[in-house]
C-alpha cells in the first residue's frame, strides 16, 4: 500500500570513494515525490508547475544516512505522507537495498503560487488524494487546526 519506487545505483551517482554522492540521493528523493504526485495523487509536476502556475518547493528536509550505497545496488524508495496542513505537507521516505536501510528522509513541502511566491491552499483535487493516502498507509493525518511549520 505504501508508495514504492525502485532505482539502481549507477556510475553517475557514485563518487571517487565508489559510493553514492549524497546530492544524487536528493535527485532520487525528488523523483520519488514527483512520481507519487503523478501516480498516486493523479497530478503531475508538469501540470502543477507549467500549466497550473503553482509549485511545491521543499521548506525543510532532514536526512539520516545509515549505510553507504554502491554501484549496482538496487534501491527501494518508500514514501509515506504524514500530515497535511492548509498549504503544507509532511512526508517521509525510506531508502533501502535488499532490506538494509540506507537513509531516512523527512520532508516538509509547501504548495505556493508562482506569481506571488506565497503559500496557497492545496486544491481539493490534491488534498483529497493526499488524505486518502495518509489514511491508507496508516499515519495520522492532520487536516484541521494548526498547520505544521506555520504554513
Residues of this chain that interact with its own copies (CB under 8 A) are 10-12, 14-19, 21-24, 26-27, 30-31, 34, 44-46, 49-50, 55, 57-65, 68, 70-72, 114, 117
For its own copies, give the closer residue by CB, 68 or 141. 68
Number of helical (H) and strand (E) elements in the chain, helices listed first = 3, 7
- Minimum CB separation from its own copies for residue 69, in Å? 11
CB atoms within 10 A of CB 91: 23
- Minimum CB separation from its own copies for residue 138, in Å? 25
For its own copies, give the closer residue by CB, 20 or 134. 20
Give, in order, the Cα–Cα distances in Å from 125 to each of 37, 76, 88. Answer: 11, 28, 15
Check the CA dihedral 98-75-83-136 and report its sign. Answer: negative
Cross-strand pairs, 54: 113
Q: Cell numbers at residue 33, please? A: 515525490
- Minimum CB separation from its own copies for residue 135, in Å? 27
- Minimum CB separation from its own copies for residue 151, in Å? 12
Amino acid at each position: 500500500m505504501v508508495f514504492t519506487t525502485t532505482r539502481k545505483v549507477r556510475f553517475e551517482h557514485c563518487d571517487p570513494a565508489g559510493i553514492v554522492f549524497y546530492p544524487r540521493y536528493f535527485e532520487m528523493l525528488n523523483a520519488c515525490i514527483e512520481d507519487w504526485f503523478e501516480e498516486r495523487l493523479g497530478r503531475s509536476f508538469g501540470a502543477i508547475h507549467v500549466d497550473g502556475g503553482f509549485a511545491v518547493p521543499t521548506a525543510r528536509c532532514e536526512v539520516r544516512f545509515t549505510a553507504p550505497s554502491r554501484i549496482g545496488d538496487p534501491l527501494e524508495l518508500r514514501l509515506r505522507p504524514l500530515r497535511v496542513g492548509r498549504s503544507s505537507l509532511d512526508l517521509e521516505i525510506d531508502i533501502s537495498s535488499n532490506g538494509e536501510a540506507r537513509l531516512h528522509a523527512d520532508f516538509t513541502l509547501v504548495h505556493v503560487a508562482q506569481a506571488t511566491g506565497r503559500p496557497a491552499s492545496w486544491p481539493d483535487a490534491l488534498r483529497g488524494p493526499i488524505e486518502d493516502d495518509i489514511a491508507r498507509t496508516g499515519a495520522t493525518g492532520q487536516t484541521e487546526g494548526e498547520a505544521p511549520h506555520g504554513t
